[in-house]
Structure 1
Amino acid sequence: MIKICNVIQIWRLSYMISKHSRPGAVHQPVCENVKRRLPMYRYSRTFNRCIQLMIGLCFLLPSVSGFAQSDVSDARIKAILTQRIDTDKQSVGMVIGMIDASGRRLISHGATDRTSGIPVDGKTIYEIGSITKVFTSMVLADMIERGEVGLDDPIRMYLPQGVSAPTWDGKEITLRHLANHTSALPRLPDNVEWPDLINPYAEYSSDLLYDFLKQHELRRNLGEIYEYSNLGAGLLGTLLSRKADRSYEQLVLSRITDPLGMPDTRITLSAEQKQRLATGHGLMLEAVENWDFLALAGAGAIRSNANDLMTFLSAHMGLTDSNLSATMAHMQQAWQETGGPGMEIGLGWHARSGHGTKIVWHNGGTHGYRSFIGM
């Protein structure tokens, strides 16, 4: 489990996410979106606690807004981690990173698995699940800045010849619709039977994706109603890859992680990086398999660690200079309401406003991992 943040007042977000961790909610992490076809998945108090813990662990401190990260000691945060891991048995290992103008802090507790005893730290690699969508939208923003695509380009411009996209009353799905979850596409394609949570995306190919688009009929207008869609984000990654004539991973590496100096943020790990990959664990702390992605990689395929994500957040907060500043600024424009109280969606990022604060964030979850990044 990994969380990166910059202000303690984000604790308020934990309640909101916990409240909406149910069918029809404002936002669900990647693994929630397979619930309808995966019988082993159930909404439960245990899972809701896991979501609340994921967002709020390092923020569930005194309920006073305006706490800067320096106002809460490492010892206090360490005590929370110790309680959650050693006493409550809600995780095997957690890493928390915090960053502001004064520098970085990293607090961790637990191990990479239940047997080795190898402690987790800032270099420990995790699946970051739906935080991948922020990277997908950042690739989109970068391609817009370079004049390679337009935000309101219809997706048919980037589909293979002979592949059509569904329309509504003459309106076409655009890249914007995919990035802000207003495409009217479902959370998952329905042209396969999703097997279970073990590795649900591993066999979903581009051929299956295109077959789905050709036969799917939209049920509402475009650009109006927010519905979180792994399908839409995965399709966006595939289309951008086609336009750039590079794999999704190559796009992320060349456009984002290499320029920002994030060597451990990628999909395909080296032998050395695999040694630092934490084992994923289920709700009963059983070891579970990693997830693999094909056509829907843009929805949740990336792995990363706390050190890299603090670098990522530092650039987005303007704490470090970057040639991608214009790209990152583009991602926080054109906010659109999601239907939840104070909730908006930009390009990839969600935002929660209230109590005089706007928190920009995303969370992630695969079978064995939970993650959060916010600023």
Structure 2
Amino acid sequence: MLRIKNFHIAGWLFLWFIFSSYQPADTLPKNVVDSIEKRIESGNNPSIAVGIIDEKGARYFNFGKMRKDGQAVDEHTIYEIGSITKVFTAILLAQQAIKGKVSLDEPIDSYLPEDVVIPVQGADKITFGNLSDHTSGLPRMPENFKPANPGNPFADYTVAQMYSFISSYKPTRKVGSGYEYSNLAQGLLGHILAANAELEYESLMIRNIASPLSMQETKITLDQSMKDHLAIGHSAGTEVENWDIPTLAGAGAIRSSTFDMLKFLSANLGFTKTPLKAAMDMTHEVRHSKAGNMRVGLGWHIKKGANGDVIWHNGGTGGYRAFAGFVKESGKGVVVLTNSNRSVDDIGFHLLDPDSKLMEVASKSEAVAVSEETLESYVGNYQLAPNFSIAITRKGKQLYGQATGQNRFELFAKNDTEFFLVVVDAQITFQVKEDAVESLTLFQNGQEIVGKKVD
């Protein structure tokens, strides 16, 4: 299942490799390999592609397939990288700031049409820096975001809708007063920077970042080669649509590969000699410490680790999750990409910071047998909220659940009353009193939600 490749990247951008001696193919730590293989075996992730770069060069570790019955993935397999796009947008901002085309402390008002009103609470105006470090006061998503196709939700959101929402929004906090992660702010930033350069966002990103770094597999619009190498996205084990993000492109529209993303991390670490270095270094600088235990730069988040500061960002779209991060002190960068909406952040953090734990992954092989009579007693509907319930059904020795508006999922027994899912990180426990099933409890994302059996 695992295939490893060890590359010394050639070309004038990578002169630091010229004097490298031969290095044997590295391996991932056994606990990481075991965790990844367990996720794939359980059906959580059809594939996981890992790239690591340090002073020895770039190595690739590939697990799984582009789709369930498809080709094996490699370092050129294409994934949606979602919100990692935001650090590309931050670099574009830093480039324009260095060239004097904008200033980080400059209000954005004059860069938008006159009829667009920038909402603020108090006297301070939203600046370019506020948009990039999540202190603008703009919400995570615009309230007029109502997609016609939930499977591709950003596709029909227009610039006119964005302008309309911004002009009517009433902020709940003062500019700069707190951290609020905002796709809207980052999408607006990418929109402004592209307009300021008189280009579309994708063209600006390719011209200023992808082309200088020879990242030919990093685009928004899939060319034929990228289509041929595209890993199909999955949610709860089912294939889903790719996302198109025209208006808020700067927040999450880029597609890429581990091959290209290690070029990107190499440049951020300073291994690659590139004119982008000054702009990249600017994005790494801490701007505030208002995000809980995280510090925030331009785009990037910064977390203390055992080997130094982990500078990182993750990403997620309908059927993909992605992680990219690096530690300057250790000279190590890691990218992890998957064609599933199950997070792989823990893998990336663990490879950069050994004190960061790997997630526990449930496997079907851990399930125990439960009598059909006991399983049948759980069949019924359980109401967890006024408009949300879980229907429990049985087919032979297999128990199933189906939440309101969602696909059916398998339930696997840990014992007679405790069950786990493998398509998402969740557990269900049934409460039995005097031989009657009264309710179930759903454990997911740190929450416990009780659902009373209603029939």
TM range (shorter): 0.7 to 0.9
Contact persistence 1:78–1:109 (CA under 8 A)? no
Paired residue for 2:112?
159
Which amino acid in 2 is paired with 1:155? Answer: I
Equivalent-residue separation in structure 2 for 1:222 and 1:161 (angstroms)? 21
* Structure 2 counterparts to residues 115-134 of structure 1, below 5 A: 115-116=69-70, 118-134=71-87
* Structure 2 counterparts to residues 176-255 of structure 1, below 5 A: 176-194=129-147, 197-255=150-208
Q: Deviations over 1:9-67 (max 9, x none)?
A: xxxxxxxxxxxxxxxxxxxxxxxxxxxxxxxxxxxxxxxxxxxxxxxxxxxxxxxxxxx
Change (3 A) 1:271 1:352: same
Which amino acid in 1 is paired with 2:278? Answer: A
Paired residue for 1:359?
310
Task: State which drifts further: 208-217 or 362-371.
Answer: 208-217
Which amino acid in 2 is paired with 1:96? Answer: V
Secondary structure of 2:291's partner?
Answer: coil
Change (3 A) 1:349 1:339: closer
Higher RCO (C-alpha under 8 Å, 6+ residues apart): 1
The question of 1:298 aligning with 2:250 is answered: yes
| Partner residue of 1:322 out of 274, 283, 288 | 274
Paired residue for 2:39?
84
Which amino acid in 2 is paired with 1:112? Answer: M
Unpaired runs of 5+ in structure 2?
1-23, 327-455
Shift of 1:172: 0.8
Paired residue for 2:325?
374
What CA RMSD, in Å, does the superposition of the two structures yield over aligned residues?
1.7
TM-score, length-scaled by structure 2: 0.64
Task: State which drifts further: 77-86 or 216-225.
Answer: 77-86
Unpaired runs of 5+ in structure 1?
1-69
Q: Give the structure with the higher percent helix.
A: 1
Q: Deviations over 1:186-213 (max 9, x none)?
A: 1000124345641111111111111111
Equivalent-residue separation in structure 1 for 2:260 and 2:282 (angstroms)? 21
Equivalent-residue separation in structure 2 for 1:197 and 1:352 (angstroms)? 33
Secondary structure of 1:259's partner?
Answer: coil
Shift of 1:91: 0.6
Shift of 1:112: 0.2
Task: State which drifts further: 347-356 or 223-232.
Answer: 347-356
* Structure 2 counterparts to residues 273-292 of structure 1, below 5 A: 273-282=226-235, 284-292=236-244
Secondary structure of 2:311's partner?
Answer: strand
TM-score, length-scaled by structure 1: 0.77
The question of 1:102 aligning with 2:56 is answered: yes
Paired residue for 2:283?
331
Equivalent-residue separation in structure 1 for 2:198 and 2:192 (angstroms)? 10
Change (3 A) 1:78 1:353: closer
Q: Give the structure with the higher percent strand.
A: 2
Equivalent-residue separation in structure 2 for 1:127 and 1:305 (angstroms)? 9
Equivalent-residue separation in structure 2 for 1:246 and 1:289 (angstroms)? 27
Equivalent-residue separation in structure 1 for 2:89 and 2:39 (angstroms)? 32
Contact persistence 1:353–1:359 (CA under 8 A)? yes
Change (3 A) 1:154 1:286: same
Equivalent-residue separation in structure 1 for 2:92 and 2:28 (angstroms)? 35
Equivalent-residue separation in structure 2 for 1:277 and 1:309 (angstroms)? 15
Equivalent-residue separation in structure 2 for 1:99 and 1:254 (angstroms)? 24
Shift of 1:372: 0.2
Equivalent-residue separation in structure 2 for 1:97 and 1:135 (angstroms)? 19
Change (3 A) 1:315 1:192: closer
Secondary structure of 1:171's partner?
Answer: coil
Equivalent-residue separation in structure 1 for 2:113 and 2:80 (angstroms)? 30
Task: State which drifts further: 191-200 or 257-266.
Answer: 191-200
Equivalent-residue separation in structure 1 for 2:276 and 2:85 (angstroms)? 17
Equivalent-residue separation in structure 1 for 2:49 and 2:223 (angstroms)? 22
Contact persistence 2:312–2:324 (CA under 8 A)? yes
Equivalent-residue separation in structure 1 for 2:81 and 2:177 (angstroms)? 28
Equivalent-residue separation in structure 2 for 1:334 and 1:92 (angstroms)? 36
Contact persistence 2:201–2:249 (CA under 8 A)? yes
Task: State which drifts further: 185-194 or 222-231.
Answer: 185-194
Shift of 1:105: 1.1
Equivalent-residue separation in structure 1 for 2:48 and 2:307 (angstroms)? 30
Paired residue for 2:93?
140
